[in-house]
């Protein structure tokens, strides 16, 4: 039992030296590692890192096997690895930094006065309009903004600043009308913008049957914490894009319930938690 006592005393001595700053340090590093792993999982970085790991393994093998020429080439290549990674990962790093910047800035303007009745009314009107457009197979893309300021992600857009009603949403997306082509942005309990151009998702796993409207909805949800409601022009199916994940097959009631779940914090989330709140569904101020 002597070895067990030595281990016990060693652990006790180490814990005695443990400080609150060590706990904070570990928590910060754990959070950074978690975010880095999530970033790797959500992008094409996984495939690229496989290549980096392979190069490192080949470098070590060439050193042990005394393959001097191969080792010289690979070791010098690794010295430039950081610069190469910055160049290769530039789009992902830019999006990640932009996301952090938007969250930091927008959080200063989020109000915490819940207005559940008004939020529920907005959701009901969106669901009602989506069902009506589904029945007539009218294509639509409705984006509900949350805490992230998505102004930097939107190209063009016509200011509307009108009360959210199903009639207004249906009229906006009538084919061949001036505002039908593009997305509607819901903000401050209003239809804030129409005919907006959004970033398209570059996810290679998206079904080829999904067109530009679905890719735009998925793309904006990848870049920010919005809910994108999509009505297919070809099939009339109603979908939700949330955090880069597309779910489909909704009707008016199920769509209303799903959005209510997300905005109330009870909905399913990729990260196991929801960032949506009634207070920040649309009640925001912008600098």
What local confidence, expressed as pLDDT, does residue 111 receive? 41
Q: How many residues does the chain have?
A: 287
Distance, CA of 210 to CA of 200 (rounded, Å): 12
Residue 85's pLDDT band (cuts 50, 70, 90): low
Distance, CA of 122 to CA of 189 (rounded, Å): 7
**DSSP-assigned letter for residue 284:** B
Domain residues of the chain, as ranges? 2-106, 116-281
Torsion of CA 201, 255, 165, 231, to 10 degrees: 40
Distance, CA of 262 to CA of 220 (rounded, Å): 16
Select from 214, 36, 32, 254 the least CA-distant residue to 130.
254
What is the CB neighbour count within 10 angstroms for residue 274? 19
Residues linked to residue 110 through DSSP beta bridges, in sequence order: 284
According to CATH, the superfamily of the domain at 116-281 is: DNA integrity scanning protein, DisA, N-terminal domain (3.40.1700.10)
- 262, 227 Cβ separation under 8 angstroms: yes
- 119, 262 Cβ separation under 8 angstroms: no
Tens digits of residue pLDDT in 177-228: 888 889 999 998 899 999 999 988 888 888 887 889 999 999 999 888 899 9
258: which 2 tokens? 């799903």
Distance, CA of 75 to CA of 137 (rounded, Å): 59
Residue 97's pLDDT band (cuts 50, 70, 90): low
User: Average pLDDT of 122-144?
Assistant: 95
């Amino acid at each position: 039992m002597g070895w067990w006592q030595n281990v016990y005393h060693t652990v006790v001595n180490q814990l005695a030296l443990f400080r609150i700053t060590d706990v904070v340090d570990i928590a910060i590093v754990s959070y950074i590692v978690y975010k880095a792993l999530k970033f790797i999982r959500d992008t094409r970085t996984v495939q690229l890192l496989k290549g980096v790991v392979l190069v490192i393994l080949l470098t070590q093998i060439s050193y042990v096997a005394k393959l001097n020429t191969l080792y010289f080439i690979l070791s010098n290549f690794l010295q430039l690895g950081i610069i190469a990674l910055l160049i290769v990962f530039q789009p992902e790093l830019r999006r990640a930094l932009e996301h952090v910047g938007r969250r930091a800035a927008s959080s200063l303007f989020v109000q915490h006065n819940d207005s559940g009745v008004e939020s529920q009314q907005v959701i009901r009107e969106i669901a009602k309009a989506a069902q009506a457009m589904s029945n007539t197979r009218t294509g639509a893309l409705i984006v509900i903004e949350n805490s992230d300021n998505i102004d930097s992600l939107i190209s063009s857009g016509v200011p509307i600043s009108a009360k959210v009603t199903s009639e207004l949403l249906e009229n906006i997306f009538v084919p061949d009308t001036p505002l039908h082509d593009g997305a509607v942005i819901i903000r401050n309990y209003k239809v804030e913008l129409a005919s907006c151009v959004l970033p398209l998702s570059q996810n290679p796993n998206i079904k080829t049957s999904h067109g530009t409207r679905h890719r735009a909805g998925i793309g904006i949800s990848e870049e920010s914490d919005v809910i994108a409601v999509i009505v297919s022009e070809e099939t009339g199916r109603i979908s939700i894009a949330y955090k880069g994940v597309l779910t489909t097959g909704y009707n008016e009631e199920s769509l209303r319930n799903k959005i209510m779940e997300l905005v109330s914090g009870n909905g399913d989330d990729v990260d196991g938690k929801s960032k949506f709140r009634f207070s920040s569904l649309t009640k925001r101020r912008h600098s």
